[in-house]
Copies of this chain bind each other. A is one copy, B any other.
Amino acid sequence: MQNGHATEAPPNPGIVFEMMQAIHRTAALKAAIELDVFRAVGEGPGDVASIARHSNASERGTRILCDFLVINGVLAKEGNCYKHTPTSAAFLDPRSPACLASTAHFLGNNAMQDPLHKLAQIVREGRTSLPGDGSVEPENPIWVQFAETMAPMMGPLAGPLGAVVLEGHQGPMRVLDIAAGHGLFGIEIAKQKKDAHVTGLDWAPVLRVALKNAEKAGVHDRYEMLPGSAFDVDFGGPYDAVLLTNFLHHFDKPTCVGLLKKVHRALKPGGRAATLEFVPNEDRVSPPQAAAFSMVMLTTTPAGDAYTFSELSSMYDEAGFTGVKAHPIPGSPHTVVVGNA
């Protein structure tokens, strides 16, 4: 029994109604971000009239929206005034460095959400309804948007990933960051290790975002760019470590194995390949956030998935890696999986 709790609870129509109306929650978050409600609440005083003025919005709409945000735990209410919860202060007020508004913008973009309106068709056909190969179509411009917007979500993961990759490593280091995106993972390694040189690989317009971030971090003199497709370009090398962050889940198993073989060939003996993934338990239905990611892959790719550790481990094995280990990142739904060449 994987889900004893849900199986044994008494029948509850509220679960079904809540699911029917869950779309309201996504819509309310998007609208509140667009209307700059979280800044207005942070700046105070937090009454409906002040927020409505700030947002150039009606009082009726503002009140109902803000109440709805309170119901959903991303605002609080004291009398007739709204204030931040710790969560909304940290992750939704644009004055916070950890603000996730840009991430909400990416996850709410048309390419990610339009397929949801055709989900029955997608389940029938078993692949995204987006044109071509969906999110993995070559040069898909959504990856520039990903690079530009996902730093607040991905930034906190760079430290833990870097620690796993660097653990026990002595001396100078060459690192290849495949599907670099915003570049934060490779940049973090260059920041943690002053004799590390990083090569970022991604579509050229994406790499321009990574290079800007490398400049901001002051590591651009040790940052090289390798534009193109991970499946086509010559990796060069040999490298001490290869990063494969948020990448394997877009492809089917044979494609992942083929890529891991190519990575293996580009590594020095004993070098490390580190993937950052949503890794559900073997039951595929827990923990919820990692397991639910397979729905994103169903709707936006032809054959991607949220792979379990046994699946990832088999792929690594088949590509010639040994000592494959999972390092869950505490407080996040992500796991770093590392193998040795």
Contact = CB atoms under 8 A, between A and B. Distances in A.
Contact of A70 (B87, B285, B289, B296): B285
B70 A2 contact: yes
A58 interface: yes
A231 interface: no
A29 B35 contact: no
Contact of A124 (B35, B83, B123, B127): B35
Interface in A293-324: 294-298, 303, 305
B291 A71 contact: yes
Number of copies: 2
Contact of A71 (B23, B72, B288, B305): B288
A67 to B, nearest CB: 5
A333 B14 CA distance: 9
Interface in A201-229: none
A234 interface: no
A140 interface: no
Contacts of A56: 124
Nearest to A4: B76
Interface stretch (A102-110, A165-173, A258-266): A102-110
Contacts of A22: 22-26
Interface of A: 1-4, 6-31, 34-35, 55-65, 67-68, 70-74, 76-79, 83, 85-87, 89-92, 98, 100, 103-104, 107-108, 113, 116-117, 119-120, 122-127, 153, 283-286, 288-289, 291-292, 294-298, 303, 305, 333
Given A18-B289, A19-B28, 10 more contacts: A8-B86, A9-B87, A13-B153, A16-B87, A21-B107, A57-B124, A60-B303, A62-B123, A64-B295, A68-B292
